[in-house]
Structure 1
Amino acid sequence: MGNLDTNSLFLLTAIIAPLLAGVVLLLGARFSPTTMRAIAVFGFAWPLIIGLLLYSRFDPSLIGAYNFELCLPTGLESIGIYLHLGLNGISMPLFLLAGTVGLAAGLYAMYSKAERPHLYLALLLFMLGGLMGTFASIDVFFFYFFHEFALIPTFLMIGMWGGVGRRGAAIEMTIYLTLGALLSLLGLIALYVQSGADSFSLIELRNYLSAQPLSDTVQNNIFALLLFGFGILVSLFPFHSWAPKGYAVAPTGAAMLHAGVLKKFGLYGLLQIAAPLLPAGADHWFPWIVWLALGNIIFIGLVTLAQKDLKMMLGYSSVMHMGYAFLGLACFSVIGAGGALLLMVAHGLSVALLFMLSTCIYHRSQTFDLSEMGGLATKAPVLAAFFVAGSMASIGLPGFGNFWGEFTIFAALAETELTRWIVVPAATGIIISAIYGLRAVANIFFGQPKAAFVERLQSDQITDLQAFEKLSAGILIAALVLTGIFPRVFSDDANRELLELYPQQQSHLPVIHSAVLSTDVDTHKELTH
């Protein structure tokens, strides 16, 4: 049980504050816009404030344990379920990611022209509260519960404020995500039952399975449930078709939080739970992970090239880049897993930024069709600068966090003969990303304006980004640059934790050193078989 101290209570408030603010706004149909925004600012800003405070108080010496641990009764203790919260070197970066994207999405949503804004903001706050709970949960049941809780507002927001075709997209999303959630739930329950643990606590599961690992057959079966369950939720090829359509019709705030943060749930589950607890299963399914990840990178990359709709292009691009994270996980090493974690954070920031800016572009051009735009930089240079920065980050330009994530994953793949061949096909994804990213920039901002668009450009209808748009975009860009210039802000603590979770390489990988991610002496241990 965790001690009830100030820091652990702060962690709890990061989950409760947005939920309470959301409840208040549900009853706030008659609130003035100023009052509504004041409540929303508190709900969206508090999780990030707490995240930064807890990061400053994080104790890196607690390797294999959790900081700010808190364990509260739920009435379900008889079946081993507690509200068990805490943060370690792996969950802390994603906890901060949720707070950062949540604040940016909230600030943008507060000035949207959505009908029933109190309801829109309330649902977005509920989603944020669920996300903070997901990455703060040590109890595996609540890890799953908070994710499902955050999904509900997504469906509601698409149904109420989504674009053209929202019904079909929502139905497809529901089918896929329900299937993924069901498979992952079965896998988590099977893991708990087979482990013999007395609770769903991840700490206890590790202790039990460390003392007596499961048989290879059981590990293979449970890992399969988690791989395909989590994989569907992350849009792993070929279970990806729901994501681009869903993001294309989703309101901006929901798209930012889902694509930027919620989709990282499955990758986080594989990184923190499945691979460390089921090493034989991970080893068995290694070829599947590699080939499906390459499907994301190459096949979906080519599909992305064919898109003429800006939002669909960004949706497919988001799916494509998940392939790199899966390749990092497939290495089952400190360097590969650390690269996947860095890429998850950086991708979450960059894709949230690009989805927000795509809406800003639409408000000025009244179209998402890339072939109908051109020359927008002359009227909106700040918007152009932010979009170029976001596109360069997504491609993996040095100076942004995405570069370190992809570079580290490539370094992990190149370390061994078995995975070295993957580098070449995976690298083609960078070329594909550069083509569609630069083409979008050229078509929207610097290309020759199309005849139908010239009149709009010459009018006074197009303005540059407003203050709230600059603030939201600035938050995300600042975080991307910080992780790009100083990746050790996350990697040092993550490395120490990963060395504890991955003490042995799987049978298909030889010795790997983790010095690429950090210069900390503790992380220069040699991984042994």
Structure 2
Amino acid sequence: MTDFNSLLLILAIVIPLAAAVLMLFGQKLCPCVTKIIAGVGFLAPAAIALWLWGQYAGATQNAAGYAYLSQFDLGLKETLGISLYLGLNGISAPLFLLAGIVGLAAGWQAISSKAERLPQYLLLLLVMQGGLMGVFASIDIFFFYFFHELALIPTFIMIGIWGGAGRRSAAMEMTVYLTLGAMLSLLGLIYIYKASDWTGFDLIALRDYVAANSLPDVLQHNIFGLLLFGFGILVSLFPFHSWAPRGYAAAPTANAMLHAGVLKKFGLYGLVQIAVPLLPVGAIEWNPLLIWLALGNILFIGFVTIAQRDLKLMVGYSSVMHMGYIFLGVATLSVAGIGGAVILMFAHGLSVALMFLLSSAVYARTGTYDMRDMGGLGMKAPILAGFFVAASMASVGLPGFANFWGEFTIFMALWKEHAWAVAPAVAGIVISAVYGLRAAAAIFMGPPSAAFAKASEGKTIGDITRAERIPAIILFLGLVLVGLWPRAISNSIDEQLMSEPAYQPRVLSTVAPEAATAPAGHDNQESAS
């Protein structure tokens, strides 16, 4: 079974890429066949991710907590220390699942869309999907970075060709920022490779080396700084955030869903999986600045979000704002805080993808993203209104949705480690409620605006269609299931983090802090009571 599951892990990456290759012949295939091939390319990774997640608790794991291991030399192992090394641990498994779920929803939306040159559109989206599955399955840091770049390149192309107003300037701004972030993070990863006495890019071997040979404090400080700002730019850490809302506003819907929902987690995942465990001293030294920058995301960008009248821009700024909570979780350097950050990564990926999907549905009925030119849509599309309000409340962190557990756990950890930051962080919830509820009221409540009434005159405006409803249900179910049963993903996260030496002095549980106990040899006062 282990070998079979290892094969499935590889197929989750290969199948969407193979489907993308077949899309090269899309012009010669009938549209129905093209959509079936693309559907398999999106459905297979989601099904595999669900299966592997269900099998993970009982799977054979190595000392580092990785299951489903497979390694391919590719002729570079001896010379460069690089190999295609795949596996999932307690942190990567839920994010691998996230990539599969959001990819399926985005793929369904794309297949159902009326995009011009649909085969090429689906080709790029499938390449993006294959890269995303590879990011979270890679144990080798080189391929972790490689798959990110593979998933990132289609973003620029899709915005430039299929994007909306201002797409070229948005694509150019994204290119500049993300290239800078990618170069800084690559430089930091290369420094780790060099500082580890050329151990290689194998993350397991690197952790073993660091455990036996702690890197000098000055070196940790410098390398962590490179990774913090490199990964931070990729995640739109304040004040390097301006590219993201404009990019998402200009991006086609499926691309925005995948980028904001999944690809944006690359930098945060890199901090949690690579930077903090390998460079714990550097993480502690950069921690105060990280907290202030994270609060900048929450408060400054939160107020900017309130000022938005363009629906898609509002969703884009909201996505950037909520990155601040995840950064705060990382800044606690505790099992609870970082565990909450991983839960919130998963929840945010689902909720922001759902918001972009619903924003596209609103545009299809109103012909505009300007919320001042809407109103009264709830009478004509009540199911769409229900989904929109629910997605907005999920983003706020309402109990019953997955986001609640991520935010609640982060606040608990923040109170224990940096109590002064709790009040401004909680203020962000009020900000989120203000712009979320106001958007719902402007779009769905009250009488239609004059512009909307004129634009819809003589037209039949229906409720959400089946093509829109199915991907919305996929994302919504993920939010509710984890919201009602957070242990579905938190147990594996806890177990993985508690095995990391970098977090051992700060032992908390990510869902039930009162049930946590400190590991042997540590003061129980470090556990929540």
Q: Does 1:194 align with 2:195?
A: yes
Task: Tell me how far apart the structure 1 counterparts of residues 489 and 294 of structure 2 sit (CA, whole Å).
Answer: 25
Q: CA, structure 1 residues 226+375, in 2 after alignment: closer, same or farther (shift >3 Å)?
A: same
Q: Does 1:159 align with 2:160?
A: yes
Q: Match for 1:339: what amino acid? A: G
In the TM superposition, 1:303-318 aligns within 5 A as: 303-318=304-319
Q: Does 1:492 align with 2:491?
A: yes
Q: Match for 2:393: what amino acid? A: M
Task: Tell me how far apart the structure 2 counterparts of residues 522 and 84 of structure 1 sit (CA, whole Å).
Answer: 33
Q: Does 1:461 align with 2:457?
A: no
Task: Tell me how far apart the structure 2 counterparts of residues 107 and 238 of structure 1 sit (CA, whole Å).
Answer: 34
Give the drift of 1:523.
6.4
Task: Tell me how far apart the structure 2 counterparts of residues 392 and 174 of structure 1 sit (CA, whole Å).
Answer: 32
Check the 8 A contact 2:102/2:353 in 1, yes or no. yes
**Counterpart secondary structure, 1:29:** helix
Q: Does 1:425 align with 2:424?
A: yes
Deviates more, 1:61-70 or 1:204-213: 61-70
Q: CA, structure 1 residues 15+470, in 2 after alignment: closer, same or farther (shift >3 Å)?
A: same
Q: Does 1:66 align with 2:59?
A: no
Kindly provide the CA deviation profile for residues 293-343 of structure 1, in whole angstroms up to 9, marking residues without a partner as x.
000000000100110100111110000000000000000010000000000
Q: CA, structure 1 residues 326+519, in 2 after alignment: closer, same or farther (shift >3 Å)?
A: closer
Q: Match for 1:30: what amino acid? A: K
Task: Tell me how far apart the structure 1 counterparts of residues 213 and 232 of structure 2 sit (CA, whole Å).
Answer: 27
2:45 to 47, 53, 77: 47
Task: Tell me how far apart the structure 2 counterparts of residues 13 and 407 of structure 1 sit (CA, whole Å).
Answer: 36
Give the drift of 1:36.
1.2
Task: Tell me how far apart the structure 2 counterparts of residues 165 and 222 of structure 1 sit (CA, whole Å).
Answer: 36
Task: Tell me how far apart the structure 2 counterparts of residues 361 and 502 of structure 1 sit (CA, whole Å).
Answer: 48
Give the drift of 1:455.
3.9
Q: CA, structure 1 residues 311+66, in 2 after alignment: closer, same or farther (shift >3 Å)?
A: same
Task: Tell me how far apart the structure 1 counterparts of residues 256 and 263 of structure 2 sit (CA, whole Å).
Answer: 10
Deviates more, 1:358-367 or 1:189-198: 189-198
**Counterpart secondary structure, 2:70:** strand
Q: CA, structure 1 residues 341+502, in 2 after alignment: closer, same or farther (shift >3 Å)?
A: farther
Give the drift of 1:515.
3.5
Aligned to 2:27: 29
Check the 8 A contact 2:257/2:353 in 1, yes or no. yes
Kindly provide the CA deviation profile for residues 427-455 of structure 1, in whole angstroms up to 9, marking residues without a partner as x.
11001000000000000001331122224
Check the 8 A contact 1:499/1:523 in 2, yes or no. no
Aligned to 1:517: 511
Give the drift of 1:522.
8.1
Q: CA, structure 1 residues 133+13, in 2 after alignment: closer, same or farther (shift >3 Å)?
A: same
Give the drift of 1:483.
1.0
Q: CA, structure 1 residues 516+152, in 2 after alignment: closer, same or farther (shift >3 Å)?
A: closer
Runs of 4+ with >6 A deviation: 519-523
Q: Percent identity?
A: 59
Aligned to 1:508: none
Aligned to 1:478: 477
Q: Match for 1:370: what amino acid? A: M
Q: Match for 1:169: what amino acid? A: A
Give the drift of 1:458.
5.6
**Counterpart secondary structure, 1:422:** helix
Task: Tell me how far apart the structure 2 counterparts of residues 89 and 515 of structure 1 sit (CA, whole Å).
Answer: 14
Aligned to 2:9: 11
Task: Tell me how far apart the structure 2 counterparts of residues 521 and 330 of structure 1 sit (CA, whole Å).
Answer: 23
In the TM superposition, 1:201-280 aligns within 5 A as: 201-280=202-281
Kindly provide the CA deviation profile for residues 480-516 of structure 1, in whole angstroms up to 9, marking residues without a partner as x.
00110011101001100001124546xxxxx644235
Task: Tell me how far apart the structure 1 counterparts of residues 301 and 431 of structure 2 sit (CA, whole Å).
Answer: 10
Task: Tell me how far apart the structure 1 counterparts of residues 377 and 419 of structure 2 sit (CA, whole Å).
Answer: 43
In the TM superposition, 1:396-407 aligns within 5 A as: 396-407=397-408
Task: Tell me how far apart the structure 1 counterparts of residues 237 and 503 of structure 2 sit (CA, whole Å).
Answer: 26
Q: Match for 1:51: what amino acid? A: A
Q: CA, structure 1 residues 520+206, in 2 after alignment: closer, same or farther (shift >3 Å)?
A: farther
Task: Tell me how far apart the structure 2 counterparts of residues 501 and 375 of structure 1 sit (CA, whole Å).
Answer: 52
Task: Tell me how far apart the structure 1 counterparts of residues 29 and 512 of structure 2 sit (CA, whole Å).
Answer: 50
Kindly provide the CA deviation profile for residues 69-119 of structure 1, in whole angstroms up to 9, marking residues without a partner as x.
000012212110000000000000000000000000000100111110000
In the TM superposition, 1:124-143 aligns within 5 A as: 124-143=125-144
Task: Tell me how far apart the structure 2 counterparts of residues 89 and 485 of structure 1 sit (CA, whole Å).
Answer: 20
Aligned length: 520
Task: Tell me how far apart the structure 1 counterparts of residues 22 and 124 of structure 2 sit (CA, whole Å).
Answer: 11
User: When the two structures are superposed, what TM-score results if normalisation uses the length of structure 2?
Assistant: 0.96
Aligned to 2:436: 437
Aligned to 1:108: 109
**Counterpart secondary structure, 1:34:** helix
Deviates more, 1:378-387 or 1:23-32: 23-32
Check the 8 A contact 2:497/2:503 in 1, yes or no. no
Kindly provide the CA deviation profile for residues 268-311 of structure 1, in whole angstroms up to 9, marking residues without a partner as x.
00001000110000000011100000000000001001101001
Give the aligned CA root-mean-square deviation in angstroms: 1.7
**Counterpart secondary structure, 2:85:** strand
Task: Tell me how far apart the structure 2 counterparts of residues 479 and 494 of structure 1 sit (CA, whole Å).
Answer: 17
**Counterpart secondary structure, 1:447:** coil
Task: Tell me how far apart the structure 2 counterparts of residues 503 and 157 of structure 1 sit (CA, whole Å).
Answer: 40
Kindly provide the CA deviation profile for residues 41-88 of structure 1, in whole angstroms up to 9, marking residues without a partner as x.
100000011111111221467362310000001221211000000000
Give the drift of 1:26.
1.7
**Counterpart secondary structure, 1:84:** strand
Q: Match for 1:65: what amino acid? A: G
Deviates more, 1:466-475 or 1:193-202: 193-202
Task: Tell me how far apart the structure 1 counterparts of residues 28 and 98 of structure 2 sit (CA, whole Å).
Answer: 33
Task: Tell me how far apart the structure 1 counterparts of residues 509 and 278 of structure 2 sit (CA, whole Å).
Answer: 24
Give the drift of 1:461.
3.0
Check the 8 A contact 1:488/1:518 in 2, yes or no. no
Q: Match for 1:249: what amino acid? A: A
Q: Show structure 2 runs of 5+ residues with no match.
A: none
Q: Match for 1:420: what amino acid? A: A
Q: Show structure 1 runs of 5+ residues with no match.
A: 506-510
Check the 8 A contact 1:332/1:502 in 2, yes or no. no
**Counterpart secondary structure, 1:89:** coil
